[in-house]
Amino acid sequence: MDNRLRDYVFGLGDLNFGWIPLYVVTWGLLAVCGWLRSLAAALVLLIVTWIAGWDLPIDALALVIGFAPLAISLGTLVLPLGGWWFQQQEGGRMPSERERAVFEAAFEQLRLLDPQLRAPRRWFVTDDPVPNACAYADTLMLTRGLLDSPYLPAVLAHEQGHLNSSDARVSAAIVRMTTPPRKPVGFPFRLIAYLASGRIGMALMRNPWAIYWRAREKVADAYAAKLGQGSALEAYLDIYALDGDLPTPFKAFGDSSHPWTEHRIDDLEAP
């Protein structure tokens, strides 16, 4: 399969003027967090150098600690690498030869309707019996249950809607603006982690991003329908999506970004 690195270099096809203003505002808020993180890092480094007697480039190190996540985020927009780490986080594995053959057959079925379809640069499998998939940066995650499911082409078409647009790279770029811990931690470090990781700035933009991502899910559904998978995707959503995808409007950033399943089915059924 043709999955060259150059296919994922940022291009005009990745522009979507819905995400650009959201990204700029979010980046600006996180830049404020970066300055605060730099000041805190400089203070810690001063104490360390005073105690240990080391001669460290405090200013340079503090700037790296403060602004490296923002630089990495911008780099992700240009070239969305990072699939290997995503695979480790999800507990994924490389596919077997049988699984590769199943995936190739489903992908070529879709490519017949869109010869310009861009293959994921990397894809992996998790041993989860529930049919599911996820696109992130330039990488696709598939569950074992989906590879054994008749809905593989339909769900793959939906995820290719994310991979063949700006969605997958933008979602990765947003995540990489922050630093660990990205999830709440216990007392007494909760407030410190909230400030140092940059999550306080992200929280201010959770509602606009929630609206944007739910609109993009419907765009990916429409792309699947364009590839002839509308009816199959409807059936998949009707069986599986209601079990684990019950979004509440304006959930916190990082929670479900999917719109109501019944509304997605209505849109797929529309002429």
Domain assignment present for residue 90? The answer is no
Per-residue pLDDT tens digits of the chain, which is 271 residues long: 556 788 888 887 777 788 999 999 999 999 999 999 999 899 999 998 988 888 889 999 999 999 999 999 999 999 998 889 999 999 999 999 999 999 999 999 999 999 989 999 999 999 999 999 999 999 999 999 999 999 999 999 999 999 999 999 999 999 999 988 777 777 777 878 888 888 888 888 888 888 898 899 999 999 999 999 999 999 999 998 754 443 344 444 445 567 888 889 999 988 7
Residues 6+ apart with CB under 8 A from 175: 182
> Could you write out the DSSP letters of every residue in 160-219?
HHHHTSSHHHHHHHHHTTS-S--S---TTSHHHHHHHSSHHHHHTTHHHHHHHHHHHHHH
Domain shared by 160 and 211, yes or no: yes
Domain shared by 163 and 257, yes or no: yes
Domain shared by 17 and 31, yes or no: yes
Domain assignment present for residue 132? The answer is yes
Domain assignment present for residue 9? The answer is yes
Residues 202 and 214: their CA atoms lie apart, in Å, by: 17
Provide the residue range defining the domain that includes 127: 95-168+206-269
Q: Considering the entire predicted model, what is its pTM?
A: 0.88
Position 242 scores a pLDDT of 55
How many domains are there within the chain?
Answer: 2
Domain shared by 129 and 54, yes or no: no
Domain shared by 78 and 146, yes or no: no
Position 134 scores a pLDDT of 92
Last residue within a domain, chosen from 184, 202, 220: 202
Nearest one of 136, 106, 102, 99 to 8, comparing CA atoms: 136
DSSP label at 108?
H
Q: What is the torsion angle, in degrees rounded to the nearest 10, for the CA atoms of residue 256, residue 262, residue 267 and residue 270? A: 170
CB 230 within 8 A of CB 211: no
Domain assignment present for residue 89? The answer is no
Domain shared by 144 and 248, yes or no: yes
Position 246 scores a pLDDT of 37
Residues 46 and 64: their CA atoms lie apart, in Å, by: 15
Domain assignment present for residue 87? The answer is no
Domain shared by 55 and 128, yes or no: no
Position 10 scores a pLDDT of 85
Domain assignment present for residue 150? The answer is yes
Position 56 scores a pLDDT of 85
Nearest one of 91, 132, 120, 107 to 227, comparing CA atoms: 107
Domain shared by 28 and 149, yes or no: no
Q: What is the torsion angle, in degrees rounded to the nearest 10, for the CA atoms of residue 137, residue 215, residue 256 and residue 191? A: 80
Domain shared by 56 and 104, yes or no: no
Residues 128 and 100: their CA atoms lie apart, in Å, by: 17
CB 206 within 8 A of CB 250: yes
Domain shared by 249 and 152, yes or no: yes
Nearest one of 167, 168, 210, 202 to 182, comparing CA atoms: 202
Strand pairing category for 139-143 and 133-136: antiparallel
Position 200 scores a pLDDT of 86
Domain shared by 35 and 145, yes or no: no
Domain assignment present for residue 114? The answer is yes
Domain shared by 251 and 147, yes or no: yes
Beta-bridge partner residues of 141: 124, 134
Position 240 scores a pLDDT of 87
Domain assignment present for residue 255? The answer is yes
Crossing angle of helices 19-52 and 206-226, rounded to 10°: 130
